[in-house]
Amino acid sequence: MYTVLDGATLFDGGKKHIQDAVMVFKDSLIHAVGERGKVKIPKNAKTIDCTGKYIIPGLIDTHIHLDMHGMGDTYHESLVEDKLRTIRAAKEMTNTVRAGVTTVRNVGSANFIDIAVKKAVEDGLIIGPRILASGKIICMMTAGNEYFKGLYREADGVEENRKAAREQIKEGADLLKVMATGAIMNPGGVPGAPQLDIDEIRAVVNEGRKIGFHTAAHAHGAEGIKNAVKAGVRTIEHGTLADEEAIRMMADKGVFLSSTLSSNFWMLKAKRNNNIPQFMFEKAKEVEKIRKQNLGHAIENGVKVVMGTDAGTPYNYHGKNATELIQYVKLGLMSEEQAIVASTKTAAEALQMDDRIGTLEKRKSADCIVLGENPLENISCLDPEGSIVFVFKEGTLIKGKVDVAHWAFASSDLETS
Ligand SMILES: [Zn+2]
């Protein structure tokens, strides 16, 4: 089946800007994209008039926790039973894809809920984004891990780390996640302090590499970032306290930095006494200024920064992912175009999926957002309360109403909003 989006202004996520564009989908893939007159429109194609609208690729969020619900008190959140968390996560993923986020990378989930939800999306049981799942987070034994029940797989020493990595792969993970430093959200965590050692992280990285999986490292402090880069991880998560050397190492080695400004943004916006544990709020507040500064330094020094929101953390709701891009622009860290590239093309590279997603090019997945406003002039139009008109994932209409009877979800009550 051919679908044509006709007449929009299109930014392909790379370098191409096309006025009066014609994009043709054939089933789940992009068949052609270009200026009017240069693209052949197949016979019997279903055409949607997009005159006056704007098209960009579907967004990619490289850091979420789909089984967390944004509750202020994450300890009580972790006491919610797994079965209920799973059902809740299914709904959250529908919100996420309808917000234009067509791919997510889940970096840590209790008891493999992420892998179950991923399968449910792939089997067509629920509507959600394409999900890459890490399973549990591999970490060293330390105080506070019990705060997030079922989320961590404690492993000490090279042998145990290797085994922990194999366990995640056996359960169906697509990537591996390690703790290279302490965490803000963990009561025992000292964000600046290193955790797993280089050889422990390397054991995990090597297990992943055997089958082409990458490793993501949670790392706030500079020493932990350097350990993780030396051990061969592909992405650094947060990078909050990166020093000059850590930034240089990430840039030189082509290691991606997932920014996660949204977690602090929503936590501090909620202010004290909003059920957020005191220790968590204080740690978030302490690093607020420096993390923005360091993200700026990383960008200036050529580190490949990608969109990551930490969605699921306190008040950081699934579906509000565009907050991250709005922050990039509002803080003067990126232009609107750079923000979109960070959440499409560059994010796809970070996930080793740039042959399939991230830009609107022939033979890539037909994932895109159609907007009523130009996001290159007003990034806030990507917010769910902004001006998203349609979302397509793999050529299927996920959000919006058009006069087409036979799209997969067109007659479903889940389809329109
Ligand atoms: Zn996280």
pLDDT value at 92 more than 50: yes
169 with 128, same domain: the answer is yes
Which of 319, 350, 381 is at the close of a domain? Answer: 350
H or E segment and range at residue 19: strand 17-26
Task: Indicate whether 408 belongs to any domain.
Answer: no
CATH code, domain with 141? 3.20.20.140
Does 416 map to a domain? Answer: no
| CA of residue 336 to ligand 1 center, whole Å | 25
Owning domain of residue 168: 59-350
Shared domain for 220 and 317, answered yes or no, is yes
For residue 207, the CA-to-ligand 1 centroid distance in Å is 22
410 in a structural domain: no
Structure letter (DSSP) for residue 42: P
Contact between residue 258 and residue 62 where contact means Cβ atoms under 8 Å apart: yes
List, as one string, the DSSP characters of 298-353. HHHTT-EEE----BTBTT--TT-TTHHHHHHHHTTSS-HHHHHHHTTHHHHHHTT-
Residues 70 and 33 in one domain: no
Q: Examine the pLDDT at 84 and tell me if it is beyond 50.
A: yes
Q: Are residues 47 and 63 in the same domain?
A: no
80 φ/ψ angles, rounded to the nearest 5 degrees:
-65, 135
pLDDT of residue 19 exceeding 90, the answer is yes
Bridging pattern class, strands 2-11 and 54-57: parallel
Nearest-angstrom CA–CA distance, 362 and 34: 10
Say whether pLDDT at 402 is over 80: no
Q: Are residues 20 and 128 in the same domain?
A: no
Write the pLDDT tens digit of every residue in 217-253: 999 999 999 999 999 999 999 999 999 999 999 999 9
**Percent of the chain having pLDDT more than 90?**
84
Compute, in angstroms, the gap from residue 333 CA to the centroid of ligand 1: 21
Residues 9 and 114 in one domain: no
Residues 51 and 114 occupy one common structural domain: no
- Burial class from Cβ neighbours inside 10 Å (0-12, 13-18, 19+) for residue 175 reads buried
- Closest by CA position to 144, among listed 95, 101, 179: 179
Both 31 and 139 in one domain: the answer is no
How many whole angstroms from 70 Cα to the centroid of ligand 1?
Answer: 12
Ligand 1 centroid–CA 305 distance in Å is 16
Same domain, 129 and 99: yes
**Is residue 407 situated within a structural domain?**
no
Last residue of a domain, one of 318, 350, 382: 350
Note whether 251 and 301 are within 8 A (CB).
Answer: yes
Closest listed residue to residue 198, CA positions, set 232, 176, 156, 231: 231
Domain annotation covers residue 321:
yes
Res. 283: pLDDT tops 90: no
Q: What's the CATH code of the domain at 21?
A: 2.30.40.10
pLDDT band at 3 (very low <50, low <70, confident <90, very high): very high
Residue 403, pLDDT > 80, answer: no
In a domain, 369, yes or no: yes
Task: Write out pLDDT tens, residues 39-67.
Answer: 999 988 999 999 999 999 999 999 999 99
Q: Indicate if 279 and 197 belong to the same structural domain.
A: yes
Instruction: For residue 64, report the distance from its CA to the centre of ligand 1, in Å.
Output: 6
Mean pLDDT of the residues in the chain: 94
The answer to whether position 285 is within a domain reads yes
How far away, in angstroms, is 282 Cα from ligand 1 center? 17
Residue 404 is predicted with a pLDDT of 52
CA of 114 to the centre of ligand 1 (A): 13
Contact criterion met (CB below 8 Å) for 364 and 358: yes
pLDDT of amino acid 185 = 82
Task: Using the mean position of ligand 1's atoms as its centre, give its distance from the Cα of residue 29 in Å.
Answer: 31
- pLDDT higher than threshold 90 for residue 349: yes
CA–CA distance from 196 to each of 110, 177, 238, 382 (Å)? 20, 12, 16, 38
pLDDT band at residue 184 using 50, 70 and 90 as cut-offs: confident
Whole-number Å distance, alpha carbon 286 to ligand 1 midpoint, is: 18
Is the pLDDT score of 274 beyond 90? Answer: no
pLDDT at position 413, please? 36
Q: How far is the CA of 283 from the centre of ligand 1 (A)?
A: 15
Q: 294-336: per-residue pLDDT in tens?
A: 999 999 999 999 999 999 999 999 999 999 999 999 999 999 9
Predicted confidence band at 115 (pLDDT cuts at 50, 70, 90)?
A: very high
Let me know if residue 266 belongs to a domain: yes
pLDDT at 346 over 90: yes
Total domains present in the chain: 2
User: For residue 11, with 0-12 CB atoms within 10 Å meaning exposed, 13-18 middle and 19 or more buried, which class applies?
Assistant: buried
88 and 123 both lie in a single domain: yes
- What is the rounded average pLDDT of the residues 187-208? 94
pLDDT value for 415: 40
Question: What is the average pLDDT across 125-133?
Answer: 97
- For residue 128, the SS3 value is coil
Distance 320 CA to ligand 1 centre (A): 15
Residue 65 alpha carbon to ligand 1 centre in Å: 6
29 and 143 inside one domain:
no
Predicted confidence at residue 9, as pLDDT, reads 98
- Model confidence band, residue 409 (pLDDT cutoffs 50, 70, 90): very low
